[in-house]
Amino acid sequence: MQELSAESIRNVCDKACLEFETTAELPPLQSIIGQKRAIQALEFGLGIEERGFNIYAAGPSGTGKTTAITAFMEKRAKTKETAPDWCYVNNFKDPNRPRGLQLPPGKGKDLQRDMRTLIEQAKRDLTRAFESAEYEQQREELIQVFRRERDNSFNSFSERTRNQGFLLQATPMGLVLIPHQADKPMSDEEVASLSAEDRNRMGRAREQLETDLKHVINRVRNTEREVNERVRHMDQEVVQYAMGTLVQELKEKYDALSDVALYLEEVERDVVENIDLFRGKPQESQPPSPPGDRDRTLRRYEVNVLIDNSELKGAPVILDSNPTPNNLFGLVEKEAHFGALQTDFTMIRAGSLHQANGGFLILRIEELLRNPLSWEGLKRCLKERKIIMEDVAERMGFISTKGLIPEPIPLKVKTILLGNSMLYHMLYLNDPDFLELFKVKADFDSQMERTLENLKDYAGFVCTLCHKEHLLQMDREGVSKIVEHSSRLAEDQTKLSTRFAEISDIIREANYWATKDEATCIGGEHVTRAIDEKVYRSDLIRERITEMIRRGVFAIDTEGEAVGQINALAVIGLGDFSFGRPGRITVSVSPGREGLVDIEREARLGGRLHTKGVMILGGYVAERYARDIPLSLSARLTFEQSYDDIEGDSASSAELYALLSRLADLPIRQGIAVTGSVNQMGDVQAIGGVNQKVEGFFHICQAKGLNGQQGVMIPATNVQNLMLREEVVEAVRQGLFHIYTAATVDEGIEVLTGVKAGAQQPDGSFEEGSVNQRVQQRLRSLARGLRDFMRSPSEEERSDYREEKQEREP
C-alpha cells in the first residue's frame, strides 16, 4: 500500500477538482467507487441470461448502495433494446379472462387511439346507415310483408271461426274462441241452454278450430322469424360493409402483428353480433338503457395500455420502495354501479413487475419480507417466468367471488435485491427457492483502499454532489478534510469509508456554514465546523459523564500512582454518536485455589467475551510464572462503579496489568489509560474503537487538567487505525498528551510501572528486581503459604499445642 502524505492528498484532490471543473462531464453521483468485487458480480449477473441468476447486493446501509446500483443499471439499460408495450383487451369468448397483447414500443398507445377512432367512426357510420331513409324503407318493406301475411292469416281464420259459430278474441291470456249468436258472444247460461247435440257439435268444432289456430300462430311466427332473420341479415350486411373498410385499414397497419390482426377480426365479428350497441336509438322491442350504460358497454372494444414505453430509450430500470402485492404485481380496480361493485379489463393496473419487464427491477429485501405475499408471489413469478395477477383478499381466503383472471404476461426481468449480509445468510440457509433464484451475490464493502485512483474518484463524488445539489464548490482543503474524515469513519489510515450518506450530510452541513460565512466556496474550516457541530449536537451524555468524573462522582484518577488499580477504556454507542469512557479496574489478591475470580461474571454482569478474556489471563499467568508450581491464589478483578453489563475483551490487558501490579506490589501510573486484549502468550492484540477511546480519555484529562504525564496505551497493531481529532493531535505534538504502544505485556508493564519487565532466564527465573521476578516470587510465596496452611501439624507442634491448652485451663 502506497502511503500518502497530507500534502499529496491535497494535490490529488486539487487536481481532481480542477479536472472536473474544466470538463463538462461529471462522474455519476455515488458511482460504485472502489467496489471491484461488487462490480464484477454485477457484470456477471447482468451478462448471463439463464433463469435464476438474479442478484443480491449485500452491504451495510448508508453506503450509497441503492443510488450506485440504480445509476449502474440505468447506464447498462441504455445499451439494451427498448422493452415492448403491453396491453389488455377483451376476450370476447370469455370476458372474465382478458387477453394480453405485446406490441413494439409506442404501438400500444397507437392501437388504443386507433380502436377508439374505429369505434367512434363505426358509431357514426352505423347510426347514419340505420337512420337513413333507404334503410328505413327496406326495413319497412320487410316488416309490411310480415304484417300483411299476419293480418291475412288471422282475418281468414277469424272469418272461418265466425262461420262455425265462434269469435276470435284477443285477451291477456292470448287468443281465445268464444261462441256467438248473431255476432254476439254467448253467455255461459245461453250455452248451457243449448241441447246436448248442439253442445257436442260446438265442442268438436272448438277442438278443431283450436288446433287450426295453433297452426296459424306457428305459421305467423315462422313468418316473423324469417322477416327478422332477413332484417338481421340486412343489418349485418350494413355493418360488414361499414366495418370492413375500417378494420381492413387497421389490419394493414398492424399486419406484422399476428395477435393484433386476430384481435381485430374478433372485434369485427363481435360488432356484427352486437349491432344494437351501435344504433342511434333502441328498437321498439328493446327497453331504453340507463344513461351511460351504452358507453359502458362499448368499453368491450377499448384497449387498456398497461405498459407504455413510447418515451423510453433502452430497457426500464424500476426501483420499488414499497413492494406491496398490489404495487408489485398490479391490481384490478372496481367501481360502484347501482350499489354493486363491477370491474372489467379496462380497470387492470400495472405493477412494478410489469413496468420492469424487459429490464431491471430493484427491491429492498427488508420491505419485501414485510409483505409475505409479495415475497412468495415474486418467487412464483420468477420461477414460472410470467406475471401472475391475483386478488390479495382471495389469496388470503377473505372473500371468494367471481372476478377477472387476466392472462399472465411473459416475464423477462433481472431482479436485484438490496439488503444486508445477515438477511442474505438467513435466506440462503432457510429458503430453498432463494438458492435457486438469486445465485449471484454482489458484496459491497463499507470501506475501500486509500489509493490515488480512489482519492480522485472521491474528489469527483464531492464535486458531483455539489454540482447536482447546487451547493458551493469545495476547495482542496475542504476535500482533504473530507478524505480525513472518511478515513476516520473507516478507522484505518489506509482506507476510505464508503458510507456516502454520512459523507454527503457532512458536505451539506459544511455548505450551510460556508453560506452563513458568505464564503465563495466550502473550505476546510467549514468541513471541520460541520463535523464539530454534529458531535456537539449529540454529546450531551459524554459531557455529563465528564462532569461527574471531574467532580469526583465517578472515581477516575488522572495523576499519581496506585497498586492494583488501572484505568481501562470502553466505547459507549448512542446510535448516531459513540465515545470512549474510562473505567477503574481494581484487583485484590490472597492465598487460595479459586484462581482469577471475575466479579462481573459472578454478579452476572459480564458477557461471554469478557469472561473468556479473564480466563485467558489465568492461562497467561500459569504459563508465564507457574510452570513448576501450582497456581495458588485467589485474585478478584472488578470494574468499579459499573452498573451495566460488560462485554468484550478489550480490557483484558488492563486487567492483567492491574493483576501484575498487585502481585509485584508495584504502583501503576494513573495518568495512563490502557486498552487492548491479550492472548495466553502475552501478545497484546488489536481492538476496535481506538480513536474514540483515546479521545475519551483525552477529554477527561483535559477537564481535570493536562500535565504532560498523561496518555493512552494502545496495541501496536492499532497504530494504523489512529485518525484522531485535531485537538488531540495538537496536544500530542506539544507534549501535553501521549500515545504509547505495546506489542507485548512486558512492554506495557514497563511503561506503566517504570520498572524493567525482566527477561526469563534458562532456569525459568527472571532478572533480579524486575517486575516478572517480583510476580514470580509472590506466586511462590502464596503457594508455600497455602501449602503450609493446608498440611497436617507435626508431633512437636501437637505437643506445643497441648501445653498451651493446659496452661490456659484453670
Which are the catalytic amino acids? 650, 693
Residue 95 phi/psi, 5-degree rounding, is: -60, -20
- 187 Cβ contact partners less than 8 Å away, ≥ 6 residues apart: none
Who contacts 433 (Cβ-Cβ below 8 Å, separation ≥6)?
Answer: 379, 383
**Residue in this structure with the C-alpha cell 458477557, named with its chain if needed:** 607
CA-CA-CA-CA torsion sign (102, 106, 112, 114): negative
SS (HEC) of 98-124: CEEEEECCCHHHHHHHHHHHHHHHHHH
CA-based R_g, the chain, Å: 48
- CA 107, CA 111: separation in Å to the nearest integer? 6
CA distance 746 to 626: 17
470: phi > 0 → left, psi -120 to 50 → alpha, else beta; which?
left
Sort 417 into a burial class: Cβ within 10 Å, 0-12 / 13-18 / 19+.
Answer: buried
For 56: left if phi > 0, alpha if psi spans -120 to 50, otherwise beta; the answer is beta
> What gap in Å lies between CA 654 and CA 651, rounded to an integer?
5
SS (H, E, C) 310-368: CCCCCCCEEEECCCCHHHHHCEECCEEECCEEECCHHHEECCHHHHHCCCEEEEEHHHH
Encode 446-476 in three state secondary structure. Answer: CEEECCHHHHHHHHHHHHHHHHHCCCCCECH
Backbone CA torsion sign across 771, 772, 773, 777: positive
Which are the contacts of 529, defined by CB distance < 8 A and separation ≥ 6? Answer: 510, 513
Q: Map grid coordinates 458484496 to a residue.
A: 443
Q: For residue 773, which of 782, 786, 764, 783 has the smallest C-alpha distance?
A: 764
Element (H, E) at 425: helix 421-430
* In contact, 54 and 416? CB cutoff 8 Å: yes
The dihedrals phi and psi of 172, each to the nearest 5 degrees, come to: -60, -20
C-alpha cell at 259: 395477435
Distance between CA atoms of residues 326 and 351, nearest Å:
7
Sign of CA dihedral 325, 327, 331, 334: positive
Q: Which three cell numbers stand for residue 246?
A: 375500417
Residue 735, Ramachandran bin (φ over 0: left; ψ between -120 and 50: alpha; else beta): left
By DSSP bridging, strand 340-342 and strand 335-337 are antiparallel
How many other CB atoms sit within 10 Å of the CB of residue 67? 18
In sequence order, what E strands does 104-204 have?
166-171, 174-181, 184-185
The Cα 766–Cα 772 span in angstroms is: 6
Residues 746, 760: Cα–Cα separation, whole Å: 11
